[in-house]
Amino acid sequence: MVDTVKPAATSGEVKPRSVRVVLMALMIAMLLAMLDNMIIGTAMPTIVGELDGLEHLSWVVTAYTLATAASTPIWGKIGDLYGRKGSFLTSIVIFLIGSALSGMAQSMGQLIGFRAIQGLGAGGLMVGVMAIIGDLIPPRERGKYQGMMAGVMALAMIGGPLVGGTITDHMGWRWSFYINLPLGAVALAMVTAVLHLPKKTEQGARPKIDYLGAALLTVAITSTVLVTTWGGTEYAWGSGEILGLIAVGVLTTAGFLYVETKAAEPVMPLHIFRSRNFTLMSVIGFLVGFAMFGGVLYLPLFQQSVQGASATNSGLLLLPMLLSMMAVSLIAGRVTTNSGKYKIFPIVGGALMVVGLFLLATMDTGTTRLVSGVYMAVLGAGLGFLMQITMLVAQNSVDMKDMGVASSSATLFRTLGGSFGVALMGSLFSTRVTDTMSERLGPEAAEAAGSAQLDAASLAKLPDAMREAYQHAVADGTHAAFLLGAAIAVLGFAAAWFVKEVPLRGAGPAPAPSPADDADGGKAAPAAQESVAR
């Protein structure tokens, strides 16, 4: 039995007003997950100053990221087996408990542990939002709501650093965590009151949990994230620690794939990857994460170090990219809803992502903020065509019973893409900065400059020769990082051409699938009626 929406009309369709109320509650929960890291980033210097433990600073972020990534597919499967409403509410409660405990932490060790608890809940927030939307709204109708999701993302990325700085300066860093509590309480109350999804229970049936598969997947994801987090920073890429983590990741991944072929209820059913479209969307989602998180990290650094922008306004520096992404996502969603066509969007989005990253790779010390803003808008347009379309097509490519694992898998691949993007672009960036500084002023100057950790205020205190060398070094590092991003994005553009235009499920009767559709990802079409009515 699949999750069903409490019918709001005799036709079985959900009234738009009812959908909007539910979506408002879901967007608040989504904002919780996305806003947290943006706020905490601004507060980290103050946290370290009070709790000490500078050497453990990276673990405050890593613990959260690891827990989120490792729990994402498990939350998706729990929702499929036991019902989404209960699992979603549970993830919100866990996230709020972690937030409250993090705000009360008295040491870096406690904060790291409590951040891991928070991350466990965050893993279920994003998956829950996407899977519930997949149940509530047929893919054909989902496009009209894409702008809302893109708007939440833009709000988190722009407002997060500003809110974090204001809270830290006027209320103390602990309120960076406590701010989640009232937002979470509102989300809990609204979801409990307006979302009606009956439990997934069958007489005499007890779902079998794939504990071994979940454990192997957790270890595999943890190893992968640690490799991308530590490689080239904490440890050299050829060190025993990194090579050992790679070996563990490969072995546990192989073990996981074998276990999934034998499990009665696999945590990530491998049959979903038989769909060409689902597999392609997973690849494209990975590359979107690679490009987006790399851009979000290195664009503000370039504008602060080379263009002299204030760190306080770091969120506003991304405004051209985020507004472009939001506007294009809204347009693409409307066109998809009206026409039912979507194949053109991954192709155009992939092309714009390649062009945008290449243009950003051409920036140097003479590039103005206006020019860089135009380049960011091009990248944002590419991401706008891809962000929600990848999730929509992935969900349309599976049966309703696999909606949770499809949503969690798509989210996981995007998260892993972000981890790889930040790691590989970061390693290339740091290496290029150090090399350029050494070439211009010698190794001692490169070390004195702090390896690309200087903001505009710190740069102003440097001698003219060192400041100019550092700005050229950051420009060279940015060029190398975005050139790598552009090269990787070409793969996404190529993959988009192989997407098959399978009809989107709609609120009305589903068209009979052709044999070709069954083979290439359209087998979910007969489940159209299950998406909105009992």
What mean pLDDT is predicted for residues 353-378? Answer: 89
Phi then psi for 53, rounded to 5 degrees? 70, 40
Out of 77-86, 366-375, 456-465, which region has the weakest mean confidence (pLDDT)?
456-465
Q: What is the pLDDT of residues 438-447, one digit of tens each?
A: 777 766 655 5
pLDDT digits 0-9 by tens, 456-488: 566 666 667 777 877 788 888 888 889 988 998
Contacts by residues 46-53 (CB-CB < 8 Å, ≥ 24 positions apart): 46/168, 46/173, 47/111, 47/173, 48/108, 50/173, 51/105, 51/106, 51/107, 51/108, 51/111, 52/108, 53/107, 53/108, 53/109
User: Which pTM value belongs to this model?
Assistant: 0.75
pLDDT at 8 (0 to 100): 36
Q: How confident is the model at residue 237 (pLDDT cuts 50, 70, 90)?
A: confident
Q: What is the pLDDT of residue 94?
A: 93
Helices (H) and strands (E) in the chain, counts: 19, 0
Q: What is the pLDDT of residue 525?
A: 40
Q: Per-residue pLDDT averaged across 389-398, rounded?
A: 81
Higher pLDDT, 50 or 487: 487
Q: Which of 211, 218, 217, 208 is nearest to 265 (CA)?
A: 208
Q: What is the pLDDT of residues 502-527, one digit of tens each?
A: 777 654 444 444 434 444 444 444 33
DSSP 311: G
In whole angstroms, give the CA distance from residue 70 to residue 253. Answer: 13
